[in-house]
């Protein structure tokens, strides 16, 4: 694969492409082939959605035929997907209930990613997001946790204030755990025992991963 580099558990692949609809399918295939070669096919479905959305955004907002570059980076349990183009205009995360053409694709990226962002570069900008690469069982647990946290009171408002999604999730974790401990105590259970059992489950699954 052109542009591929691997060192230890860090791997990087650079895929230049022309922003036209016919290239998006080929770019998805190249990303899937690379992830399969790296042995992280568990992330292929999410990666295809991310690649499609990022490439489509270049076509829509930069211009059909524009030069762009997709970068895949695997480090530890995360896959970072970056889209570089020559436009300095950064995307804006607007309210989720706005018109259909008002950035709903960006909300999809936020919902499926561990973290995301955009930054200016020497020649334009880069939009990036990170996908978890744990085992399938761990991914299902992470998915359930994200759904619970996003449904937790106040989380969505925190994200829309422009704070990093990962930081907002981390704060919600603490508050949610505290509420759950109050719930267990109110029903006659010992919070310390519940925490110990949860820790035992977590460590057992970590060792099996």
Of 33-37, 151-155, 173-177, which has the strongest mean pLDDT? Answer: 33-37
Q: Picking from 77-81, 109-113, 121-125, which range would have the lowest pLDDT averaged per residue?
A: 109-113
Q: What residues have CB less than 8 Å from 134, skipping those under 6 apart? A: 77, 142, 209
Residue ranges of the chain assigned to CATH 3.30.565.10: 4-132
Q: What is the mean pLDDT of residues 5-23?
A: 81
- Name the class of domain 4-132: alpha beta
pLDDT of 86? 94
Closest residue by Cα to residue 166 from 188, 184, 142, 185 = 142
Residues 46, 74: Cα–Cα separation, whole Å: 14
Whether the CB-CB separation of 67 and 83 falls below 8 Å is answered with no
E strands present in 39-103? 67-75, 78-85
Q: What is the mean pLDDT of residues 12-32?
A: 94
**pLDDT exceeds cutoff 70 at 59:** yes
Whether the CB-CB separation of 20 and 59 falls below 8 Å is answered with yes
Which residue has 């997907």 as its token pair?
81
pTM to 2 decimal places: 0.60
**pLDDT exceeds cutoff 70 at 134:** no
Q: Picking from 9-23, 67-81, 117-131, 160-174, which range would have the lowest pLDDT averaged per residue?
A: 160-174
- Give the C-alpha distances (Å, rounded to integers) separating 32 from 128, 181, 194: 17, 42, 41
pLDDT of 104? 54
Binned at pLDDT 50, 70 and 90, residue 172 comes out as confident
The pair of structure tokens assigned to 56 is 């489509």
pLDDT of 85? 96
The percentage of residues in the chain with a pLDDT greater than 70, rounded to a whole number, is 73
Q: What is the mean pLDDT of residues 100-126?
A: 77
Binned at pLDDT 50, 70 and 90, residue 109 comes out as confident
Q: How many CA atoms lie within 13 A of 39 on its CB side?
A: 9
68-80 b/e (C-beta count within 10 Å ≥ 16 → b): bbbbbbbeebbbb
């Amino acid at each position: 694969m052109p542009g591929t580099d691997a060192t230890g558990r860090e791997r990087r692949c650079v895929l230049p492409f022309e922003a036209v609809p016919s290239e998006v399918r080929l770019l998805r295939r190249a990303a899937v082939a690379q992830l399969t070669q790296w042995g992280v096919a568990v992330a292929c479905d999410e990666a295809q959605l991310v690649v499609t959305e990022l490439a489509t955004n270049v076509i829509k907002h930069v211009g059909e035929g524009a030069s762009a570059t997709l970068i895949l980076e695997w480090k530890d349990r995360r896959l970072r997907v970056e889209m570089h183009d020559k436009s300095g205009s950064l995307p804006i995360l607007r309210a989720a209930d706005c018109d259909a053409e008002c950035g709903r694709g960006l909300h999809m990226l936020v919902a499926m990613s561990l973290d995301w962002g955009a930054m200016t570069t020497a020649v334009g900008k880069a939009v990036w997001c990170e996908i978890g690469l744990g085992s399938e069982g761990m991914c299902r647990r992470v998915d359930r946790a994200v759904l619970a946290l996003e449904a937790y009171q106040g989380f969505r408002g925190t994200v829309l204030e422009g704070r990093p999604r990962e930081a907002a999730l981390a704060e919600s974790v603490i508050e949610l755990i505290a509420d759950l401990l109050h719930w267990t105590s109110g029903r006659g259970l010992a919070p310390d025992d519940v925490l110990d059992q949860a820790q035992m489950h977590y460590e057992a699954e970590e060792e099996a991963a």
